[in-house]
Amino acid sequence: MREAYIVQAVRTPGCRRNKGAFAQTRPEELLSQALQGVCERAGVDKGEVDDILVGCAFPEAEQGLNVGRVVAQMAKFPDKTCGATFNRFCCSGLEAISLQSLRIMSGWADVCIGAGLESMSIVPMGGNMPRPHPDWAKENPDVYVSMGITAEHVARRYGVTREMQDEFAYHSHMKAANAQKNKLFTEIIPTTATKFVEKNGQMVKTTFVQDYDDGVRADTTIEGLGKLKGAFASANPWVPNQGSVTAGNSSQTTDGSAASLIMSGDAVKRLGLTPIARVVCYAVAGCKSDEMGVGPKYAIPKALEIAGLKIQDVVNNGLFEINEAFASQALYCANELGIGDKSLWLSDSDSRVININGGAIALGHPLGCTGAKLCATLVNNMKKLNKKYGVESMCIGGGMGAAAVFELC
């Protein structure tokens, strides 16, 4: 089987839902810029791309109508370049990258893009018209339960305290603030955003360029996080009102897009390119729906086994990007995997290998975009720090986990 290589990977900034820079920017415009940006940075003509697959957790409304094909046209790819849209909730962007890699490995394509997209400002979480099956909801409501409730379940069942969660959240912000200060987010492409302002009694469309994640709070303190009330406990009568999962130790809901350009070895040689990383393998694993956050605990070992690696191989010469959907589940998974030692994730530790520039608590979790976003962050950090291995993982709504392994070229 052939190899699949990531030649370039980029992302837009992640900006806060409703309050951030992209709140009035249509999702197609975010995705279009990510697609153009990845080709421009790689120095590859758009006509070389066979297919574009876009992960999106709620592919409807402005994100509907097969947004993958629509935006391929908006971004001025030729008619021969195809496009499709895929949904595996929080893993959609990584799934898009893995499926395109498989196409290349099989010999069905030579140059593809795997991307992710989510505008949580414009298309609400849950969609515009969610309709759970009434009979199935009575038999097994857990598959429809709020993600915040599942995070509370993980915290209560496995002893992840409020103090532990707040400490983890604090360091996520500190790592991200440090990365912003030192301009470490080199995977970000400056992105044109839209804003409507009133002028002479009329709403006028204006534009500006956004080049940073606007949810990072450099002034975060553990004391401040400790004052926040539980965000989800009131929906669960048997949990005390002061639940441990808060807005401060949960991922931010954000808008954003990301894209990876993936090629076969033959295409890399033909175009005279130097790839960043080889796509080694990808795995998914199921778990209980009502504690969906534990998914990485099962998916990471599964992927490492396929790759012929041990967790210590990555600790010794690699990096992890484990999506911080909630501090409770991220901490639990790290502990279960044997990488829970604080030195591996603290902001002031020189030994950190987990989310070294912060995670979704500080930078946001734009659902279908996140898998592609984390890939861009991971492979660019592998290149900068000369780390041989990279592992990306996340939990997935409905009770799943996913993980991918990358190797530096």
Residues 348-366: tens digit of each pLDDT: 999 999 999 999 999 999 9
Residue percentage of the chain with pLDDT more than 70: 98
- Please enumerate in sequence order all residues whose Cβ is within 8 A of that of 341, keeping only pairs 6 or more positions apart, or say none: none
Find the mean pLDDT for residues 98-117: 98
DSSP-derived pairing of the beta strands 111-119 and 51-55: parallel
* Unique residue bearing structure tokens 């534990």: 294
| Single-letter residue type at 169 | A
CATH of 4-124+250-408, one of 3.90.1170.50, 3.40.190.150, 3.40.47.10, 3.40.640.10: 3.40.47.10
| pLDDT (tens digit per residue) in 225-251 | 999 999 887 655 565 556 899 999 999
- What pLDDT, on the 0 to 100 scale, is given for residue 241? 57
- What pLDDT, on the 0 to 100 scale, is given for residue 239? 56
- What pLDDT, on the 0 to 100 scale, is given for residue 1? 86
For residue 243, give both structure tokens.
């639940």
Residues annotated as catalytic (active site), given as ranges? 90, 365, 395
Residue 371 pLDDT greater than 60, yes or no = yes
Find the mean pLDDT for residues 300-325: 98
At residue 125, the 3 state secondary structure works out as: coil
Question: Residue 397's Cα: distance from chain center in Å?
Answer: 13
Residue 82, number of CB atoms within 10 A of its CB:
16
Q: Where are the domains of the chain?
A: 4-124+250-408
* Beta carbons of 404 and 126 less than 8 angstroms apart: no
- What pLDDT, on the 0 to 100 scale, is given for residue 240? 55
28: left (phi over 0), alpha (psi -120 to 50) or beta: alpha
| Confidence class for position 187, pLDDT limits 50, 70, 90 | very high
* Beta carbons of 52 and 73 less than 8 angstroms apart: no
Residue 274 pLDDT greater than 80, yes or no = yes
- What pLDDT, on the 0 to 100 scale, is given for residue 234? 61
Report the distance separating Cα 23 and Cα 193, nearest Å: 9
Q: The whole model's pTM is what? A: 0.97
